[in-house]
Homo-oligomer: A and B are copies of this chain.
Amino acid sequence: MGQGRDGEWQQWRARRPPSRQIHLDTAAAGRSSAETLRVTAAHAEREAVVGAYVAQAEAAPVLAEGRAALAGLLGVAADGLAFTESATAARDALLAAWPLPAGGTVAVAPSEWGPNLFAFSSRGLALTELAVGSDGAVDLERLARLLADQPPALVHLTQVASHRGLVQPVAAAAALCRAAGVPLWVDAAQALGHADTATGADAVYATSRKWLAGPRGVGLLGVSEPGWERLRVSASPLELSSLPDGTSPVRLLESHEANVAGRVGLCAAVRQYLAAGPARVRQRLAEAGRLTRETLAGLPGWEVVGPAGAPAAITGLRPAAGQDVGGVRDRLLAEHGILTTASHPARAPRDMTGPLLRVSPHVDVTAGDLGKLRDALAAMS
């Protein structure tokens, strides 16, 4: 990640509204490009000029193209994709539509996102923990054994953890689950635009605002075709009257009244992502994560939470000297103009033993940015 490599990605930065801040908080929300912002605002203005539903009809080709692109990224058919309001809304729509046996068991990794654990438990589902290696990634041999010996009702994986650089082997798990006839659902909120999310899972949900740097208020649900018949979906006669015959059950889960400007903005963000090249972005984000961990390794008072070589641009820093992580996050922003997250342990209660400082740059991060973070943290200790 020398100057030359940094330079390649400065166009990405130049396409965003200028900021005097060092933004290391993509895992919360990425910085939208000026083009994405323009397209979103232009759709909202068009709604005011010609009427909201006329504007939506005009945008149908853009929405269809974006839908197909997003479906491709999630590894489902275009008709297997539903726009929702957030990843959480998508998860809840899936839980409502895909019946799981009462008291059934959901198998999760210890790194599972806390609100997902809560969503399962509060619906009366039991949780069981998948065996993982020392890095926290699911042990595939032991998964295969579990699927054979004591198949759960569902395997649920958060593909890229929220609090540290940890990527689950979702594609391999999907193959095992499919062979065993056990459904696999994937929370790809931190994975879309970051890792390869076309994994063969039965259902996958994600959000616009993080690694794709699309607008807030837009989420996605993808269900692969074999799963469609599992869905129990109902739509009111009025809703059905506005949809073509043969509309897929997944499309019936799409919210009808919605932040359409945001959806149009997401379609623009996806176009930009595809133009940048998903494989190239993935490689760069992996590099950004490794550089973050290398730069911060050995920093007095902080411990980089592994694995160091994870192909993810999220890094967790554990305070080793009793620092108040919330206070450090606030001072980094106020005194140094560096944006990070103070991660509460409820994000991943089975993996986190205390708060972590989360650092999550996008592709435009430079060695200089990360050096400033290191210096700022060092100066505070």
Contact = CB atoms under 8 A, between A and B. Distances in A.
A76 interface: no
Contacts of A217: 85, 217, 257-262
B216 A19 contact: no
Contacts of A31: 47-49, 51
Given A28-B51, A236-B119, A346-B238, A86 B257 contact: yes
A32 B49 CA distance: 9
Given A21-B49, A236-B115, A238-B346, A260 B216 contact: yes
Contacts of A47: 29, 31-32, 216
Interface in A48-73: 48-54
A150 interface: no
Contacts of A50: 19, 21, 339
A37 B55 CA distance: 15
Given A29-B47, A216-B258, 20 more contacts: A17-B48, A28-B51, A29-B52, A31-B51, A50-B339, A54-B339, A85-B217, A85-B255, A85-B258, A85-B259, A88-B256, A114-B236, A114-B237, A115-B238, A118-B236, A217-B258, A217-B259, A218-B259, A241-B344, A259-B259
Interface in A35-51: 37, 40-41, 44-45, 47-51
A48 B118 CA distance: 31
B346 A237 contact: yes
Contacts of A346: 236-238, 240-241
B239 A16 contact: no
A209 interface: yes
A94 to B, nearest CB: 15
